[in-house]
Amino acid sequence: DTGVSQDPRHKITKRGQNVTFRCDPISEHNRLYWYRQTLGQGPEFLTYFQNEAQLEKSRLLSDRFSAERPKGSFSTLEIQRTEQGDSAMYLCASSLAAQRTSGRGNEQFFGPGTRLTVL
Amino acid sequence: GNSVTQMEGPVTLSEEAFLTINCTYTATGYPSLFWYVQYPGEGLQLLLKATKADDKGSNKGFEATYRKETTSFHLEKGSVQVSDSAVYFCALSDPGNFNKFYFGSGTKLNVKP
């Protein structure tokens, strides 16, 4: 399977615990994105990487959230001191570098997501 | 700012009916536009895209035309199947930063046999 993979698919935790999710992008993609999706809503952008560099973070990404992509391949998203409001689906996507002039290459390919439930 | 507005669902149709899901957008500049589909228990899959005004994206019988004058990208299919039942998301890429996508809230489609 050469698509985007995420692990785990489901995570149930108690409030105050730390959780970490992993994303493995499509191997030739140099860009990796994290989104959060709550019930009945579309994905909301959290952050993205080009290779190992984190280039942008949304205001949605509080200090309790940290993302890394240490070798420019897989990425991890950690949430510290989880709160019930963190319950959501966390989606990872990857892409090639977008070509601004043609608009080509900026399709994002999504993984199946990690569903987090904070009790 | 950038935003996407989709018609609220759920949309319930009988098999072989005609489908339209409305999508309008607000953007500063000229975004690329996308439709993604999410089947139950799965991640989002790209359905089609259009990168400039008057472009028509098409895939699996679905079509959408980039209308700059009405800032719309409505999804259509002439004859839906039960297997088309899913949630459909309209999205745009930020004209100032193609890496940043904005999604609509999704429209759930139920197709009955």
Neighbouring C-beta atoms of residue B90, cutoff 10 Å: 30
Which of B52, B100, B106 shows the shortest C-beta gap to A45?
Answer: B100
Cα atoms found within 13 Å of the Cα of residue A116, Cβ hemisphere only: 30
SS3 assignment, position A44: strand
* Inter-chain CB pairs, A–B, below 8 Å: 64
Which pLDDT tens digit goes with each residue over A47-87?
A: 999 999 999 898 888 899 999 999 889 999 999 999 999 99
Show the beta-strand stretches assigned E in A38-99.
44-50, 53-57, 65-68, 75-79, 88-95
Local confidence band at A99 (pLDDT 50, 70, 90 cut-offs)? low
- How far, in Å, CA of A69 to CA of B9, rounded? 37
The nearest alpha carbon in chain A to B89 belongs to: A42
The nearest alpha carbon in chain B to A95 belongs to: B99
Which residues of B sit within 8 Å Cβ distance of A? 4, 32, 34, 36, 41-46, 49, 51-52, 89, 91, 93, 97-106
What the block records as the tokens of B69 is 């004058």
Q: Is the Cβ–Cβ distance between A57 and A99 less than 8 Å?
A: no
In a structure prediction context, what are the per-residue pLDDT tens digits for chain B, which is 113 residues long?
Answer: 889 999 888 999 999 999 999 999 999 888 899 999 999 888 899 999 998 899 999 999 999 999 999 999 999 999 999 999 999 999 998 877 777 899 999 999 999 99
The per-residue pLDDT of chain A, averaged, comes to 90
Task: Of B89, B97, B95, B96, give the one whose Cα is nearest residue B73.
Answer: B89
Neighbouring C-beta atoms of residue A71, cutoff 10 Å: 9
Burial class (CB in 10 A: 0-12, 13-18, 19+), A79: buried
Mutate to test the interface with B, among A106, A109, A115 (most CBs of B within 10 A): A106
- How far, in Å, CA of B36 to CA of A40, rounded? 15
pLDDT > 70 fraction of chain A, expressed in percent and rounded: 92
Local confidence band at A116 (pLDDT 50, 70, 90 cut-offs)? very high
- Angle, vertex CA B90, rays to CA A103 and CA B14, nearest 5: 135
